[in-house]
Amino acid sequence: MKIIITGGAGYIGSHTAVEALRAGHEVIIIDDLSNSTKDALSNIYKASGKKPLFCEMSLLKNPLDIYDLIGEHARNSDALIHFAAFKSSPESKENPLSYYRNNTGSLMTAIRLCEILSIKNFIFSSSCTVYGEPEYLPINESHPILRGTTPYGCTKIMGEWILQDCTAVKKLKSVALRYFNPAGADHTYLIGENPKGRPGNLVPIITQAAAGIYEQPIKVTGVDYPTPDGSASIVTGK
Catalytic-role residue among 11, 99, 131, 152: 152
- Identify whether 179 is a catalytic site residue: no
What separation in angstroms does the CA of 125 have from each of 176, 179, 232? 6, 8, 31
Residue 55 main-chain phi, psi, to 5 deg = -120, 115
The C-alpha atoms of residue 166 and residue 177 are separated, in whole angstroms, by 17
d(CA 166, CA 189): 38
Q: Which helix (H) or strand (E) holds 124?
A: strand 121-125
How do 79-82 and 2-6 pair as beta strands?
A: parallel
Phi, psi dihedrals of residue 29, rounded to the nearest 5° = -105, 130
Query: 10 Å Cβ neighbour count for 198?
Result: 14
Taking phi over 0 as left and psi of -120 to 50 as alpha, with beta for the rest, 91 belongs to: alpha
- What are the residues whose beta carbons fall under 8 Å from the beta carbon of 168, sequence distance 6 or more? none
47/53 Cα distance (integer angstroms): 15
Residues with a known catalytic role: 152
